[in-house]
Amino acid sequence: MIEAVELRRVALPLVVPFRTSFGTQTVRDALLVRVLTPSTEGWGECVALSEPLYSAEFVDGAELVIGRHLVPRLWAVEHPGELAGALRAVKGHPMAKAAVELAALDAWLRGTGKSLACHLGGVREAVDVGVSVGIAGSLGELVDQVEGYVADGYRRVKLKIEPGWDVAPVRAVRERHPDLPLQVDANGAYRLEDATALAALDGFELLLIEQPLAEDDLRGHAELARRLATPICLDESITSLGSAVEAIESGACAIVNIKAGRVGGYLEATRIHDACVERSVPVWCGGMLETGIGRAANVALASLPGFTLPGDLSASSRYFHADLTAPFELEEGRLRVPEGPGLGVDPRPERLAELTTSVELLRP
């Protein structure tokens, strides 16, 4: 039985600004959800950004939806398996629902002594990780950034691209690192009419092109896939198990990026993973500038057997000078999967106190 829910906002300055085609982040304004039961507590993190640019959700809206519409539906929930049914009446808002689900799941698993990775079906003790590199101010700056991440040991690099910033940056990095596993992410910045420009990337032996077209353009992605040699991976277009199956079976993608927040939670993310494995479609775990709370959950998800490509997980130091939890650190290009009950990590009280901008405690 859930006795109370705490909504806490924290602000973590990023080590360096992170620029993409949908905006520049300098501070991670994160919404944390803490579920309290008679015997334990659990933590979740909402991955919505400050503005509705990546998706329709944004952190102020998510906080309102969770507090006003989702939390009142939790009081009768006895088991995380009941959550989906309890929250189904609220339309949309997958990132808000995912945060609530994770907090409840963490609390329940802590009570049973079972780790999240074990509960989801994880099979690895550590996972290969890559790093996502934003749009830089110059080619020289980009190459220097990539050089540093390669030296750190990352096993794959992803470059953000947009019209006018695509072939030249990819060429610059590929010339410096001819054998580096490399991929690009457009965040829907292109149109099908840009197919010729995107085909110019085929010569660089990329692992994939992520979300080149708009999220609702499966037909365009399927047509683009026929014109490119580089595999297409979808991100924003994958919002549920149904959308993932439709994208695969329509030929819109050959690889799937799974973000638990985008699809409504880690249980739905696991179902998408299973469907992709059944269809021999590789998957990898995407990131949303999570703190150590969300990062722990992502690492647990990435320990499932179908996650055969390095994810956007990264060490804590990639984004934050000091994380909310004990830092996740690279070990030969891998992150260790937490073994403790639930998430296997806890926020550090002194960091919470330092970074908290607001707290609200909700009771029945």
Number of residues that make up the chain: 364
Q: What is the pLDDT of residue 270?
A: 98
Q: What does DSSP assign to residue 323?
A: -
Catalytic residue among 91, 114, 158, 259: 259
Question: What sections of the chain are H helices per DSSP?
Answer: 59-65, 83-87, 94-112, 116-120, 139-152, 167-176, 195-199, 218-227, 241-249, 260-263, 266-278, 292-302, 349-355
Catalytic residue among 97, 114, 158, 160: 160
Which residue in the block uniquely carries the two structure tokens 């692992």?
A: 207
* CB 34, CB 6: distance < 8 Å: yes
Q: What is the pLDDT of residue 243?
A: 98
What pTM value is reported for the model?
A: 0.95
Q: What is the pLDDT of residue 16?
A: 83
**Distance between CA atoms of residues 276 and 256, nearest Å:** 8
Q: What is the pLDDT of residue 204?
A: 98
**Distance between CA atoms of residues 258 and 14, nearest Å:** 23
**Distance between CA atoms of residues 354 and 113, nearest Å:** 30
Give the CA distances from residue 147 to residues 170, 172, 177, 204, 350, in Å, rounded to whole numbers and listed in that order.
13, 11, 9, 18, 34
Q: What is the pLDDT of residue 19?
A: 77
Domains plus CATH for the chain?
A: 4-112+348-362 (3.30.390.10), 118-336 (3.20.20.120)
Q: What is the pLDDT of residue 45?
A: 98
- Virtual torsion, Cα 300, 305, 307, 308, nearest 10 deg: 140
* Residue 160 appears among annotated catalytic residues: yes
* Sequence-ordered list of residues with C-beta below 8 angstroms from that of 256, at least 6 positions apart, any chain: 233, 234, 238, 244, 247, 248, 272, 276, 281, 282, 283, 284
Amino acid at 203: G
Q: What does DSSP assign to residue 338?
A: P
Q: Strands 157-160 and 182-185, how do they pair?
A: parallel
**Distance between CA atoms of residues 229 and 212, nearest Å:** 14
* CB 96, CB 55: distance < 8 Å: no
* CB 129, CB 333: distance < 8 Å: yes
Q: What is the pLDDT of residue 335?
A: 97
Question: Which positions of the chain have pLDDT values less than 70?
Answer: none
Six-digit token string for 74: 């939790």
Q: What is the pLDDT of residue 20?
A: 79
Which residue in the block uniquely carries the two structure tokens 């070990």?
A: 331
**Distance between CA atoms of residues 60 and 292, nearest Å:** 21
Q: What is the pLDDT of residue 78?
A: 85
Q: What is the pLDDT of residue 233?
A: 98
